Amino acid sequence: AQKVTQAQTEISVVEKEDVTLDCVYETRDTTYYLFWYKQPPSGELVFLIRRNSFDEQNEISGRYSWNFQKSTSSFNFTITASQVVDSAVYFCALRRTYNTDKLIFGTGTRLQVFP
Amino acid sequence: DAGITQSPRYKITETGRQVTLMCHQTWSHSYMFWYRQDLGHGLRLIYYSAAADITDKGEVPDGYVVSRSKTENFPLTLESATRSQTSVYFCASSAGQFRHEQYFGPGTRLTVT
């Protein structure tokens, strides 16, 4: 079965703190894709990153970085020097490469960054 | 304006009524999706479409109907609305399979009374 677990329901930090959002996935597929989406208070879903299962290089984009570890089936997301504008719900998602095109979402982690 | 739009943004309807949620994208993406978002469940796929006139069920299709006569439109119809269908509905589109990310519309908040 395919599953994405985001065990942290809610995280609160103070501005400028670093914060890591955990994502653990389950799949028996050898090829798959992982995604992170951001849902700010306004409600829209914003695509952040896509990673395929053959590429375990970590990625950094400004204050955002992602750590993909196939050995532990994890795809964690770190925000460095958090800002109030980072306050949102963050979703991790898994997509298989055959049989279905659907994204399997985790239940999300609500991040609150206080000034 | 390019992108993916949904209408209406907010809708209140009564139990038993039929209601249609509209989704329109201007990218000519072949794939389109409908999700519902409920607290504690994340987003769950209702239906998806790989191309015009090709649709398939997702995880929670019961009580919903879709059609796709044109590539750019993917309406979702609740044939006889129930309170359990109160939710936020998101439409998404994708350029292709698998590796392509899905881009989401702004959502429709539906309340069934």
Averaged pLDDT for residues A18-31:
93
Q: Mutating which of A92, A99, A101, A104 best tests the B interface, going by the most B Cβ atoms within 10 A?
A: A101
d(CA B110, nearest CA chain A) in Å:
14
Q: How far is CA A77 from the centre of its chain?
A: 5
Contact of B47 with chain A, judged by CB distance below 8 Å, is answered with no
Q: Which chain B residue shows the shortest CA-CA distance from A52?
A: B99
Per residue in A44-54, pLDDT (tens digit) is 999 999 888 88
Q: Which chain B residue shows the shortest CA-CA distance from A48?
A: B101
Model pLDDT, residue B96: 72
pLDDT above 90 covers what percent of chain B? 81
B contact residues 83-102, partner A, Cβ 8 Å cutoff: 88, 90, 92, 94, 97-99, 101-102
Per residue in B90-105, pLDDT (tens digit) is 999 988 765 578 899 9
Q: What is the CA radius of gyration of chain A?
A: 14
CA dihedral A1, A5, A49, B24 (to 10 degrees): 70
Model pLDDT, residue B3: 92
Q: Which chain A residue shows the shortest CA-CA distance from B38?
A: A107
Residues 6+ apart with CB under 8 A from A59: A49, A51, A65, A66
Per residue in A62-115, pLDDT (tens digit) is 999 999 999 999 999 999 999 999 999 999 999 876 655 678 899 999 999 999
Model pLDDT, residue B39: 83
Averaged pLDDT for residues B28-57:
91
